[in-house]
Amino acid sequence: MVPRTWLLCGVPRSGSSLCCRLAGGARDTVALSEPIDPGVFAPTAGPPAACESIREFAATTRDRLLAEGRAPSVQVNGRLDDERVSGALSEGGLRRPRGGAGEIRVDKPLSPDFLLLIKHNALFAALLDRLARGFPALGLVRNPVAVLASWQTVDLPVRRGRVPMGERFDPRLARALDEEPDTLRRQVQVLEWFFARFRDHLPPERVLRYEDLVASGGRSLFHRLGVAARPEPLESRNANAVYDAASVDRILAAVQGEERAWSAWYTPRDCERAATAIRAGR
């Protein structure tokens, strides 16, 4: 195990970038967002080799942070940022990604056993059964209706019902998505896959709901990581004004009707409330 190194994997658009920003502000803590270049994995590398590469990355990154105060991360102007995509729709009707791969500088003092949080959503979720044996890991979830409403607005693979790094290490997922022609049904398959990975490979106390994160001002995250940090007012985006109220009925129908992997965290009534809030624009 790499000392005091946590992994974070969330459902895409569930607030994982927010978690990184919040955790990164805590004393003696560094958070990195998607710092691992997929190119480090050989084309034929399977899950065991990928997990070993992740372990090596965590160890060398800790050493570099202590020696240089720098580390790779997705960043916006050299810093972590909640807004991984733009808040407004572009001319094409989608929200575009902001920032990109780069480095962040950590100027605060770090002890030799500082806490390092590394976030990769699909990559860590795909390898979670193995990674959770060697690292403490957190899963982040969000109301399924709000997630799918967000996915319709972003210029990311999930809008097409694809999750490249998940498919890279889970061929069964890739085959299922290849065989499904309908975009919304592919999105639901991807969503179910994330929730099932967390349900099957994390204890309940290691899965954090976006809604609880927001309501607690970050306390629920700090508590799980065991760090001391000041909470701050946060606002839920579950009824973001950019979400299309006209599509919410189809989204709601797609997530209901049978037992789903997200049932451990969200009831049908929770999904209905989210749909109602999106329709009302609040």
Q: Among 28-32, 90-94, 145-149, 161-165, whose mean pLDDT is lowest?
A: 90-94
Strand 70-75 and strand 100-105: the pairing is antiparallel
Show the tokens assigned to 211: 């809604």
pLDDT, average across residues 57-81: 94
pLDDT value of position 93: 85
pLDDT, average across residues 83-96: 83
pLDDT value of position 87: 83
Q: Which amino acid is at 200?
A: D
pLDDT value of position 84: 79
132: alpha, beta or left, given left = phi > 0 and alpha = psi -120 to 50? alpha
Enumerate residues 6+ apart whose C-beta is below 8 A from 115. Answer: 4, 5, 6, 26, 28, 29, 30, 225, 226, 227
Is the pLDDT at 20 greater than 70, yes or no?
A: yes
pTM above 0.85, yes or no: yes
- How many other C-beta atoms are found inside a 10 Å radius of the C-beta of residue 274? 28
Give Cα 25 to chain centroid, integer Å.
Answer: 18
Is the pLDDT at 73 greater than 70, yes or no?
A: yes
Show the tokens assigned to 152: 């319709």
pLDDT value of position 258: 81
Enumerate residues 6+ apart whose C-beta is below 8 A from 224. Answer: 138, 205, 206, 208
pLDDT, average across residues 41-59: 94
Go through the domains of the chain in sequence order and give each one's CATH number.
5-280 (3.40.50)
Enumerate residues 6+ apart whose C-beta is below 8 A from 192. Answer: 260, 261, 262
- Residue 222 banded pLDDT, cuts 50, 70, 90: very high
Is the pLDDT at 282 greater than 70, yes or no?
A: no
Q: How far apart are the first and last CA of the chain?
A: 44
pLDDT value of position 77: 85
Question: Residue 190 and residue 176: Cα distance in Å, rounded?
Answer: 10
Backbone angles phi, psi at 164, to 5 degrees: -55, -45
pLDDT, average across residues 106-115: 96
Question: Residue 139 and residue 278: Cα distance in Å, rounded?
Answer: 25
Question: Residue 156 and residue 58: Cα distance in Å, rounded?
Answer: 26
pLDDT value of position 92: 78
pLDDT tens digit string along 23-43?
Answer: 999 999 999 999 999 988 988
pLDDT value of position 78: 85
Is the pLDDT at 157 greater than 80, yes or no?
A: yes
Question: Residue 88 and residue 98: Cα distance in Å, rounded?
Answer: 12
3-state secondary structure of 8: strand
